[in-house]
Amino acid sequence: MDVLQRFRKSIQIKTDWPEGAQAGDGRAEAPLREFQEFLKISYPEFHKKIERSVLNPYAVIYQWPGESAEAKPILFLAHYDVVPAETEKWTVPPFSGDEKDGYIYGRGTLDMKCILIGIMEAAETLCAGGFRPKQDIWFAFGGDEERAGTWGAKTSVRWFAERNIRFAWALDEGSIVARNQIAWIDKPLALLGIEEKGFASFELRAAQQSGHASRPPKVQAAAVLARALLRISKKPFPFRLTPTVEGFFRSLGDLSTGAMAWVLKHPRLLGPLFFKAVAGSPAIASLLRTTVAMTQLEGSPADNVMPSSVRAVLNLRLLDPWTVETALEYVRKAVNDGRVEVDICNVSTDPVPPNPLHAKRSGPGWEEMEAAVSAVFPGVPVMPFLVTATTDSRHYKDLCGGIFRFCPLVLTPEELALIHGHDERISEQNLRNCVNFYTDLLARL
């Protein structure tokens, strides 16, 4: 069985979460255990050299002993659960691993079994060749990242903390090698995620007396809630330039020409004018402020019934130094209406700031990461980046001297949109990139 066949097999193990499943549900746990055993069977040389600890179906940890017990270890993270797929909207069965036109199709091909399999293929090859790292290398794989890492990553973090194991740095999924993502730059860019935005969901609720729709009250809860949402939209969170994002813009400036180059290299000199110049793009604006997405609206279950309450949900991605609590207070002040309750309604986490040295393109792990990127993607600029999505790595922030979030995938905007989408697929070249990147990186450690 070769790399491609093993990867296809990993896709065929249906590690999504059945609707309504919770921890302990056999429907969810059986395929997760199957995946753990698949790794053990598929990578025999690696499993001869390491110590394996299966904590539960959602967490498996490997220790690869290094030459020095004194050197601080390094941590690699990945997850093997995937989001569900709407089968009827795919052109191939979503868990088939079908090959077509140089691509492998299937849920999890991009997010993120390609990363996990890339790590395992690299480690297997190096172990078979007799390689031993300088320091211990740990691998922590989770089975519930798509459900906030409650039983996977959090369990692993407690396991490490109880044993007083700390890491020089860690690597998880995150940013990519972006192709055609910046309009005026015609070369790929390796975006090395060093910082992660926080995540919060807030519920807004307005109540009223329920009754027949033929006798509506003078002031309706839906109108009260609508005015609250309008106030929020008129009071966005303020712009802020973090050191990470400033480093990103300065790197773009080095690749630009004319007035654009000057603007990107001197963002602080321009102040508000800089934000006005670059924030027209939602993608760029998301790097510069805490964002608010109005994602859910709920009212009456019937069109002729006045609901007893109406509800809206906001999803926020928090830019440091905003926290869940300070953002909640900001939204409440923006609403400024005692008839509308605003509360946290889901698992929420604060931002994860970077190691300050990483924003300056130095610090623990930067040299090795940059060298591995350059080896696999020659001539591609490497620059610091802010990850606006959430990853399992946020749970490990107190255990690591720094965290990188990077996927060695060259993706266009169209390919990036396939993540969690219909007909998710990865090119065979990108799969090879994953294997080559992790082989090069591990060999440097």
Evaluate whether 63 touches 50 at the Cβ level (below 8 Å): yes
Residue carrying the six token digits 């949900």: 313
CA 12/CA 343 separation, integer angstroms: 40
Band of residue 178 on the pLDDT scale cut at 50, 70, 90? very high
3-class state of residue 346 by DSSP? coil
| CA 23 and chain centroid, separation | 22
Res. 369: pLDDT tops 80? yes
Catalytic position from the list 111, 124, 144, 145: 145
- For the segment 3-42, what is each residue's pLDDT rounded down to a tens digit? 999 999 999 999 998 877 777 778 889 999 999 999 999 9
pLDDT > 90: percent of the chain: 89
DSSP per residue over 407-430, as a string?
EEEEE-HHHHTTTTSTT-EEEHHH
Q: What are phi and psi of 356, to 5 degrees?
A: -55, -30
More confident residue, 244 or 186: 244
For residue 438, give the nearest of 72, 155, 46 by alpha carbon. Answer: 46
Active-site annotation holds for 145 = yes
Res. 279: pLDDT tops 90? no
Query: What is residue 20's predicted lDDT score, i.e. its pLDDT?
Result: 75
- Show the tokens assigned to 314: 């906001």
Residues in the chain: 445
3-class state of residue 203 by DSSP? strand
DSSP per residue over 78-147, as a string?
EE-------GGG-SS-TTS--EETTEEESTTTTTTHHHHHHHHHHHHHHHHTT---SB-EEEEEES-GGG
Could you tell me the CA-to-CA distances from 402 to 352, 355, 398, 445 in Å, in that order?
A: 10, 5, 9, 16
More confident residue, 107 or 69: 107
Query: What is residue 325's predicted lDDT score, i.e. its pLDDT?
Result: 98
59-64 vs 137-142, strand pairing mode? antiparallel
Q: What is the mean pLDDT of residues 233-251?
A: 96
Catalytic position from the list 81, 144, 350, 415: 81
Q: What are phi and psi of 22, to 5 degrees?
A: -130, 175
Evaluate whether 354 touches 277 at the Cβ level (below 8 Å): no
- Show the tokens assigned to 207: 């109540």
- Show the tokens assigned to 7: 């990867």
Query: What is residue 177's predicted lDDT score, i.e. its pLDDT?
Result: 98
Query: What is residue 238's predicted lDDT score, i.e. its pLDDT?
Result: 96
Query: What is residue 241's predicted lDDT score, i.e. its pLDDT?
Result: 96
Query: What is residue 202's predicted lDDT score, i.e. its pLDDT?
Result: 98
Q: Which domains does the chain have, with CATH numbers?
A: 3-196+353-444 (3.40.630.10), 198-349 (3.30.70.360)
Residue 218 CB contacts under 8 Å (≥ 6 apart), including other chains: none
Cα first-last separation, the chain: 28
Band of residue 442 on the pLDDT scale cut at 50, 70, 90? very high
What mean pLDDT is reported for the chain?
95
Strand partners, 404: 171
Band of residue 380 on the pLDDT scale cut at 50, 70, 90? very high
CA 189/CA 186 separation, integer angstroms: 9
Is pTM beyond 0.85? Reply is: yes
Query: What is residue 281's predicted lDDT score, i.e. its pLDDT?
Result: 85
Res. 75: pLDDT tops 80? yes
Q: What is the mean pLDDT of residues 168-187?
A: 93
Query: What is residue 252's predicted lDDT score, i.e. its pLDDT?
Result: 94
Evaluate whether 273 touches 305 at the Cβ level (below 8 Å): no
Q: How many CA atoms lie within 13 A of 326 on its CB side?
A: 12
- Show the tokens assigned to 174: 């995150």
For residue 445, give the nearest of 195, 166, 76, 44 by alpha carbon. Answer: 76
For residue 175, give the nearest of 159, 196, 156, 155 by alpha carbon. Answer: 196
Res. 217: pLDDT tops 80? yes
Residue carrying the six token digits 């509506």: 216
Could you tell me the CA-to-CA distances from 198 to 226, 321, 387, 396, 407 in Å, in that order?
A: 26, 10, 10, 14, 20
